[in-house]
Amino acid sequence: MIDYSAVAGRAHGGRPTVPLRLSAQERARIEEALRPAKAEQRTVRRAQAVLMMADGVPATDIARILGVHACTVDDWRKRFDCQTPSEKLADAPRSGRPPSLSRTPSRHE
């Protein structure tokens, strides 16, 4: 886990940082997402960002710590500002080309 206690709630220029509201149950679910050894890195990064937002870490510091752009952190704040942010950690299914390998035999055989 990343130690960000030095930047949580610190004074900085710009708008005041408003902590993201998380219930104890949601916080536990998000912390659970950090535990699996084979969790996707992007899911872990988002979970870390949500926890930092909840602890009042400024967006610029979150971006610097996680190695992302500050606009990405702003997008994440909008995404996770809901009742169940733990459900939004994983990527949604994307459209695209379907898999080219199938289990059914081709017509040309």
Three-class SS state of 58: coil
**Predicted pLDDT of residue 101:** 73
For residue 56, being part of any structural domain is answered with yes
For residue 25, being part of any structural domain is answered with no
| Token digits of residue 36 | 């699996």
For residue 37, being part of any structural domain is answered with yes
Give yes or no for a contact between 49 and 76, defined as CB atoms under 8 angstroms apart. yes
**Predicted pLDDT of residue 103:** 67
For residue 83, being part of any structural domain is answered with yes
For residue 52, being part of any structural domain is answered with yes
For residue 95, being part of any structural domain is answered with no
pTM exceeding 0.85: no
Residue range(s) defining the domain that contains residue 80: 30-88
**Predicted pLDDT of residue 96:** 82
**Predicted pLDDT of residue 22:** 92
Per-residue pLDDT of the chain (109 residues; tens, 9 = 90+): 677 776 776 777 777 788 899 999 999 999 998 888 888 899 999 999 999 999 999 999 999 999 999 999 999 999 999 999 999 998 877 788 877 776 666 665 5
Give the per-residue SS3 of 22-47: CCHHHHHHHHHHHCCCCCCHHHHHHH
| Token digits of residue 37 | 């050894």
For residue 101, being part of any structural domain is answered with no
Q: What is the total count of domains within the chain? A: 1
